[in-house]
Structure 1
Amino acid sequence: MELKRFYRTQRELAIALNQLIDSYWENEINEDELMGNIKVIYENNNDKLLKGNDYTKVVLQQCGKRRLSIVSKILDISKKNSIV
């Protein structure tokens, strides 16, 4: 699955996250690809993904709680691994 590194809008970003997570759920990509792609998306687009400590309203509405819980867990794992 080919993803962009930078997204123009919050809506584009949300669509990409949905496609990425859905591909994982459909066993089209493995866990390492999912985690790596989410890290890259976060590092390059965190201003469109987060506002303060919460997801932006557009991302929340487009992605939903189930998908964003996965994103949150991956970001938490990434932060813990980078500290150690």
Structure 2
Amino acid sequence: MEVKIFYKNQVEVAKAMNDLIDKYWKDEIKENILLEGIVKIISNNENKIIRNGTYTTIIQQRCGKRRLEIIDRIFKKQDI
């Protein structure tokens, strides 16, 4: 699966992360592709995802609690 590196706004970032996680949950992609995709998105769009040490409101609302838990684990695992 091809993941864009840069996104225009927070809504696009949230949609891209949601799509990746949903495909992983449906067993359409493997874990390593999920990890690589989330790391790429976060490292290149961090200012759209995190402000003042927490997820932005749009990211929280669009992604939801379960997806953010997965993103948190990837953050900690990769030391981003």
For this structure pair, what is the TM-score category when the shorter chain's length is used for normalisation?
A: over 0.9
SS at match of 2:28: coil
| 1:59 aligned partner | 59
Deviation at 1:54, TM superposition (A): 0.6
Provide TM-score, normalisation by structure 1.
0.92
Query: 2: distance between equivalents of 1:47 and 1:10?
Result: 9
Query: 1: distance between equivalents of 2:12 and 2:64?
Result: 15
How many residues matched? 80
| 1:39 aligned partner | 39
Letter in 2 for 1:9: N
Question: Highest CA radius of gyration, 1 or 2?
Answer: 1
Mind listing any 5+ residue stretches in structure 2 that lack a counterpart?
Answer: none
